[in-house]
Amino acid sequence: MCGPTTRSKLRNSAGGASSSPSPSPSISLAALSTTDNNNNNNDNGNDNNTNFSKSMKPPLDVVLAPPSLLSRYACATLMIAIFGVWCNISFYGHGKDESNAPGVGRDVHNWTVPLTLTVSYLLALPLLRLLSRNYLSQNVDMKLLLRETMIVYNAGQVLLNGWMVYRLIHSLVYAGHPFIGDLYTVHTGATFVVWIHYMDKYLEFFDTFFMVLRGRMDQVSFLHMYHHVSIAWAWWFAMRSSPGGDAYFGALLNSWIHVMMYSYYTLSLLKFSCPWKRHITRAQLLQFTSVVIYTVVSFIIVYRDNVASLQTKHYACYVVQTFEMVSLFLLFMRFYSKAYSNKNNKDTNNCESQQQQQQQQISSSSSMKKFQSSDIDGTSTSFTEESSDDGSIPEHTSMSSESSNEAAAIKKDL
């Protein structure tokens, strides 16, 4: 139980923590937790307080100084340099002529490249985790350090994927690329965009790297890692086996989804609301469904009109694409259903909690009126003088103006 002085200290502690230089949302929680534990130990005796001080260390978020602007912009500059190297390899590694690009004028690299890159990606994650947990997170606020870097990365992905959407639509509308039922057209510009889209799958590994460096291991799920690894292999197989014709469709839809997704991330980092946030997962599910339907229709048309042109690698491409989309659909659907269920449970719990608080406030108000009406000398006795044994006010009898306002707000919500 906390008396009026203790409650005031708690509110001041929360406010002080939230206005500290570090922007981490865990600061105020850490400060509240530390203050609450110290107050409880004072109530239980000096011995317990001494044991607490010896056994627990102050939260790192509270004592860490924010990183300098120089270090933050140095990280952002490094991200720009990484983008530059990736663009040089992807756009100009074959020369300046798009007709010489892999999948268009030459074969795509063999399986050793995706194997090396995906294995390196998986091995880098525990190493980054150790580096972040044992050194970086103890010396610097990683969320603040990487803020500008992540803005550069996400905004860069918005521009890159927006360019891919534009080029693919341009190929369909103005360059005469077939909409469906084709396997071999590669000189309309669409196949070059598919090559860029495939190479972007490796750049997207930074999604996970940022999560690990910022300590968000809860986001590094099986779905997340399966998505990044399997999609890189699926696109490599498509570029290796059948890069032309209908291969563009999945790249077009995926690029548009990424415009939505990375623009949401960018707006969130810039502290702007995103009106399409809640539609992203449903748009992804629609994407998977659309690609599966498109793949089935494409196979039927090609098989009906030109079955002699189908080779084993084409059949394999249809199978790989269908399997990838169906597996991602099932995993994303499971994620979406779980998130929706958790939201409903949370809303139900919040409603029940508000109803209980309202009943407590009504009960306290009735007790207050009864106490005042029984006052013999007619004076209004302050209810704060009716305290418990430890000197604090029982929580359910606190009738401050703040609590009354909360009760009115709860009643209005209900």
Is the pLDDT score of 27 beyond 50?
no
pLDDT of residue 281: 85
pLDDT of residue 57: 41
- From the list 94, 177, 197, 227, the catalytic residue is 227
- Residue range 254-275, pLDDT digits in tens: 999 999 999 999 999 999 999 9
pLDDT of residue 309: 83
Is the pLDDT score of 198 beyond 70?
yes
Is the pLDDT score of 29 beyond 60?
no
- Residue range 349-406, pLDDT digits in tens: 666 666 667 666 666 655 555 444 444 444 333 333 333 333 333 333 333 333 334 4
Q: Which residue has the tokens 């150790």?
A: 130
CA distance 172 to 276: 27
pLDDT of residue 84: 97
Model confidence, pTM = 0.70
227 catalytic, yes or no?
A: yes
